[in-house]
Each structure stands twice: as structure tokens, then as C-alpha cells.
Structure 1
């Protein structure tokens, strides 16, 4: 414990940790850590390598700076072999009896909590028994942790989901001057640089270490493929859900990653893989639980959901997962359209309620990438393109215009802009096409604005938008 808590000696964290930049979500997380009026443990959830352990250390840094006694701050990683399987209370008692007997408020951090069987029962007992201690735990198996939190932590746990990097976070962490550009005219004047940064984000932007480390960028396949994907597919999911055929799961994930942003069906996947539809459905649920993919439901042109939704879209939760498996892309690759669409949805996935109202439309006449259905009516629609063609030939957007007019999106206006948005590669402007106001905006700039808005909204709540108190 003394080795893992070097601040006990001089109150200083190791220089390599102290120098790391903070995530945009850190302030909201720190607020929960410092909240002591409610007797709740903080459960920090998220996929592997998004910065959970670093964020816990940064919280310790801030607590020390706020004049907390360093010896009243304990950090334990439960994947350390010495602590493997040990009850939380036993570890706590060793600390209290040896080092933590000093008066004052104490905060205990348990990292990688998923390695302890029935962790939620242990943690609830601690929260009930040690009323003056704040407990903070983290884990990478987000789904299993969330399930345990809901079942056993009612009224005792507050969940905090830490997702992969947004585009705006990526720009800030890489010290890109575009991160501070708020004026649209200035951003448009630097659009070539912004598009270049957007391609980098698609390739390397999902994880903090990959974003800032040149060494990790040299071999993203090893960094993401081995350190993230394989550990999730080979260790986390099989151990948590009893998956027997790991090769089937790996194959399915690679198929979905290669086809990110495309419509799939359980019937088609089953025919291609000779795996039953029921098993495929479970696998996709597992991959969603591990925050590797997200599914989006299909609606018809009347904005009604299908009673049996045989078709749906699957998106990687961040586009750099595809790069790790199949290699980097550039601006002229055929897959850029699907990757741009994946990046836009990756920003939306930072809102945990996005799946409730974001859908897509597709039938034999055409498709619309994003439809926001609110109170059973479409509120706005977005077509994501990596080309300027439709700005120059807007009349080709026939299906988009048909849908907009059917649902009165040609007269309803939300915010300051049209309810109908089409992204481009470089063009910006507003046109009225067949009586429908259409906004055109470069994909990279739209992604930047969207990423800022999603994180700003969550920070403005103080308690993050994905925080839930069962």
C-alpha cells in the first residue's frame, strides 16, 4: 500500500501522472468525489484505456492541493496479485490499522473493482458501515458493473460513465490551436487544417494515450487491438457472461467493425456466419455492454418504429477501433463516408439518452442517416456526407426533401437554423430546395460543434448527464 500511495510521504504524485492533461469530464467527476453530504459511493464506469485510473489519481492530486491529509487518501488497484480476491473491508482495515488512523475526512479509491467477485455487496457494506469515509471505485467491465450497481447499490451508489474522447477533447489534448476556435468564420478559414485533424481523429482519436503518444500511434493495432479489444473479447466478456466460443465473438466484432455505419440484419449475419440469430443477438448485446459498438433503430418514412425491427445499423463507439483492425484511412478512401458517420454518432453516444430518440430511415426509395424523434414526431434530420456534391446539386436530395415535407420540417424551425442539415466536405451555406430550408455544413466542423455541445451539456449539469443514482 505504501508503494502504491507515494503521496503519503511528501504529498506529491509521481511526475508522469501529475503532468497528464485532464479529461473534459474531470470537473464533474471531482464534484462527485468531493460530495460528502450524501452517503454514496462513486462508481466510475467506462471502456478500457479511456483514463479512469488517471482520473482517480488526478482527483487525489486535487484533494491534496485542497489541503486534505495525504495519508487519508488510499488508492488500491484490485488487479494487483497481492490484493487479488481480498475482501474490501479486509484491505480497508489493514490501511486503517497501519496508516489511516489520523483524524480527518478519508477518501478510498478502489481501481479495477470488477476483479472482485460480488464487489457490489462488499461496497454496499462499506458504505453502510463506514459513514465518514468516501468510497470511489472504477472498472472497465461497464455493463456488469452497472448491472451490479443497480441491483445492489440502490440509494448507495452514483454511477459516472467516462466515454472515449470527443473530437473537441482530442484537439485539446493534442494541443491543436483549433481546439480554442469558437468563431465559425475563423474555423471555416482554417477548414483544411480542421479536415486534416478530423482524419487524425478518425484514426487515432478515441483514447487519450493513443492521441498523445507518438509511440502508440506507430502501432495502433497492438495498442488497441491487443490492449483493448482482445482483453475485452478474450477476458472480460467470456468471464462475465460465460461466452464459450470466443472465436465466433471475435469474428462478429470484426465484421461489424469493418461495416461500421452500415445497415445489417440478424438474418444476413446468421446466413453469413452459420451462427443462430439468437446467439448473434446475445453477442451484439455483449459488445454494446462492453461499449465497443452501439446499435441504432430503423423507422419508416412515417417515423414509426417497426414491430419487428429486422434491420438496424451498428456503429463503433469510436472510429479508431476500425483503424486498429484494418489500418489507417485517408480523406479519399471509399470508407470515409461511413467513418464520418461513425464519428458523428460517436459524439452523440456521449449522451446516454441518445438511443431513445435517434433513429434512421431507410426503404427502397432512400435513406436518412439521423432522425431525432421526439414526442413521436421528427424534430430534425441530418444527412452525413463526405462530399460537396449535394451542395452543388441539392435537387438530388429527393428522399430527404420528401421526408422533410411529409413531416412539416420545411416550416418548423428549431434553434436558429433549419431542421434539415446536410454535411459536406468543404462547403458551408443555407439553401431553400423545393421549399425546404437546408443547412449545409462541413462534416469536421459539425463534429467539432457537436462534441463541444455534448460535453458542455453534461458539465452544465454538474452531476454528469450519464450519472444515475439508483
Structure 2
């Protein structure tokens, strides 16, 4: 099985002195259900699973608010598993189909006899009110496709390697040349395979990229079906068009979305909810333009200027010709990795809990990303895919502006670690070391 970082978070939840219900959120096909099931098998004697898509009749259990005694009596009749106090996890899956679970979960947690886990897809658009459960009753974990470190685990790279990387990154010391080459080779594979568990499993089994691409296309087909099923009828065409346009828009020089390609007559205000749907469903990642690279970034973001990325870089690379995937694997120096590198960077930063922004100024130039760390420091980031990674006029200009008070700029690319004045150069595979936990 694939080792996932969420296992540590599940252990922490289970060890808490007073357990809340646990909600695991994230896009479809990223391993939520599998991770909860695996954890449950190793930590509970009994596991009762209720899937509201496979068994829609279960929704009626929660049709009206009831007390815990009534709810548990109904649950006992609905499952085949014994419900033993202190030894049972009740797992509600595909909860986007059952809005009433929001009301019920408070009663169940208050009762205290069993533990509860919930999961589902499209929760950001279908079940947003589940987050209104009072504090103390619900804990939430965001799950993402495999990041690069998790992918390396699947390729039998041990924790010790990333411990070394973290030390070198913090100390600004060059990484051993052999390790650097090996990790750049693995990163090329990651750019093609991506982090969807089914794709990674397939690649681990036989090393076939064709099998991986088939899985990736099936996942995108599922996402499109979700749009057709869950999005408002009037918005479906626009949302699907936006999703399908992501690869071509990222290949544009400025990588920003062009609204005219969606609907020549529509204004941004009419399309804003369509973009929000994709981001809320966790199938896309947005980076918004800001007026100034200053804290707080959220205060100066411009809603109508943004870049949109797929939630998984493998889904992006899988949208291109097979020839492109081969060139990425072979490290061809003449192809443009820009959009692929940036999507991978957006995915990694998002998985680390960062909100993404970028800065574009006619006078100073454009920075690929801006993020804000736990101490509210603004970190400017440039993503470079070629040998000319030391050419970064926008970064130089922004760092030179004393009014922005930026101490360090980060350039991630095919380079090793080095520090030159205010700029840290680092390998693209280390961008996940900018942790926000």
C-alpha cells in the first residue's frame, strides 16, 4: 500500500483526549476512503461503514433531527457490524449526498459511545455548511494527491533522504551531486505520473506510462461527470469549458485565464461562481494577482485576475501529447517545462497549506507565486525550468524595493542549493520544504 502523510494526522486525532468527529475533505480519487479504512482496520475492533451513494436509502436515517438514542437505534438496524462502545468506528462516506449529517453528528459525538469519521467529494460546493458544526464536535483534515515526498516513498526512497534535504535546505548547503541527479530523475517521473494513488500504484506495478495515462483520463472523465451531476444546470457548460481550458491557458505566456475563450459576451462577475466551483470541488487550484507583494496578501488580491492549475500535475501532463511525456522523462532541454513546473509547484504549495498569489507589474515584472508563512512573512517565488534560472528581473526588482520589506526571494528550478545575496536557489523538488504547519 502507499504510505501517506495523513496517517500521522489520523494518529494525532485518535490520540486526542476528547475525540471529535473527523471530516476528511479533498477531491475524488485521492485516497480518502482507502486511508480511513486502513487506519480503522488497525485501530478499531469493529468498523461500520455507510456509503450514501452505494446505499442512498441510508439518507432517510437522518431525514429529520433526532436525539442520539433514536439515531443509534436506526444505525444498529442499518449495519451488519456490531456496535460496541469504545471499540467501534462508524464511517460515513460520500456525505455530500446527505446534508442532514450536519445536524446528526453533534448528537452522536455528544453521546460519546463510538468514534465517527466522515468523508466525501465536492464538499466545498455541496456541503459547505458541514463546517458550521460547533467547535469541539468536528475536526477537519484536508487531503491532496501524493506530494513529491510521498511519491518518493512509493519508489522506495526512505525518510532519511528527506531528512537530509530538510537539513541542507535550512542550512543553505549544496546537496550531494548523486542525490541531486537521482531526485531530479524521480521528479521527472513525478511530473508525468503525478500523485493520484491509482496512477502511482499502476506505475509502481509495471512502470507503464500508457497505463498511467489511461487512469488519468478516467479520473478527468469522472470530474466531468461530477460537473454534470452536481453543478447548477445553467453553469455546467461553462465549468466544463473552464476545466478543459486549463492546459492551454497555462501554456500561454502570462498563464492567466482569458474569459473570452469561455464566453465572448460574459463578464467576470457572471463567471466567478464557475471558477469558484472548480476550486471549491478541489479539482483546481487558483493563484490570485495582488496589487502589492505586502502582508496581508488576501487584502490586495484581485478576484478577476488569476491563474488556474489542475489539482494534480499528472493530469496536466496527461493532457499533452505522449511525445511531451517522453520528453519530460528524458529531460529534453529544448521543451518548455514552464506550465508543468508551475502546476507542480502550485500543487505542492497548496498541499502544504498555503494560499497562492502572484504579482504582476508593468514596472517591476511578474513573480510566479507569493505565499505567506506562519509568521505572516511574504515569500516571493520564481519557478524556472531551464538553465537560465539566474535570470529573474522581476525578483530582482521587487527585492530592491525597500517599501516591500522582503528579505529573501526563492528561485526553484533544476539547480542545486545556493545562496546569493537575498536569493535562495533550490531544486524544484524541494519546494515542499516550505512548510506551513
TM-score (normalised: structure 2): 0.80
Structure 1 position 322, deviation (Å): 0.8
The aligned residue for residue 117 of structure 2 is 136
The aligned residue for residue 59 of structure 2 is 85
The aligned residue for residue 320 of structure 1 is 314
The aligned residue for residue 403 of structure 1 is 398
Q: Aligned partners of 2:159, 2:140: CA distance in 1, in Å?
A: 32
Give the match's secondary structure for 2:344.
helix
Structure 1 position 404, deviation (Å): 0.7
Give the match's secondary structure for 2:18.
coil
Question: Contact 1:258/1:322 (CA < 8 Å) preserved in 2?
Answer: no
Structure 1 position 212, deviation (Å): 2.3
Cα distance, 1:273–1:180 mapped onto 2, change above 3 Å = same
In structure 2, list runs of 5 or more residues that go unmatched.
63-70, 169-173
Q: Aligned partners of 2:396, 2:412: CA distance in 1, in Å?
A: 15
1:293 aligns with 2:278: no
Structure 1 position 430, deviation (Å): 2.9
Give the match's secondary structure for 1:349.
helix
Question: Contact 2:24/2:119 (CA < 8 Å) preserved in 1?
Answer: yes
Task: Give 1:267-286 correspondences, 5 Å limit.
Answer: 268-270=258-260, 273-274=263-264, 276=266, 277-286=268-277
The aligned residue for residue 36 of structure 2 is 56
Question: Contact 1:114/1:145 (CA < 8 Å) preserved in 2?
Answer: yes
Q: Aligned partners of 2:53, 2:293: CA distance in 1, in Å?
A: 51
Cα distance, 1:238–1:103 mapped onto 2, change above 3 Å = same
Structure 1 position 311, deviation (Å): 2.0
- Structure 1, residues 272-321: CA drift from partner, whole Å, max 9, x if none? 53362334211110000111212222234664865855422222222112
Cα distance, 1:92–1:301 mapped onto 2, change above 3 Å = closer
The aligned residue for residue 366 of structure 2 is 367
Structure 1 position 32, deviation (Å): 1.7
Q: How many residues align structurally? A: 404
Structure 1 position 171, deviation (Å): 0.5
Structure 1 position 62, deviation (Å): 1.9
Question: Contact 1:387/1:425 (CA < 8 Å) preserved in 2?
Answer: yes
In structure 1, list runs of 5 or more residues that go unmatched.
1-19, 65-69, 414-418, 459-470
- Structure 1, residues 85-104: CA drift from partner, whole Å, max 9, x if none? 342547512168x6525564
Question: Contact 1:427/1:441 (CA < 8 Å) preserved in 2?
Answer: yes
The aligned residue for residue 440 of structure 1 is 425
Structure 1 position 61, deviation (Å): 2.3
TM-score (normalised: structure 1): 0.75
| Larger deviation, residues 248-257 vs 84-93 | 84-93
Q: Aligned partners of 2:4, 2:372: CA distance in 1, in Å?
A: 31
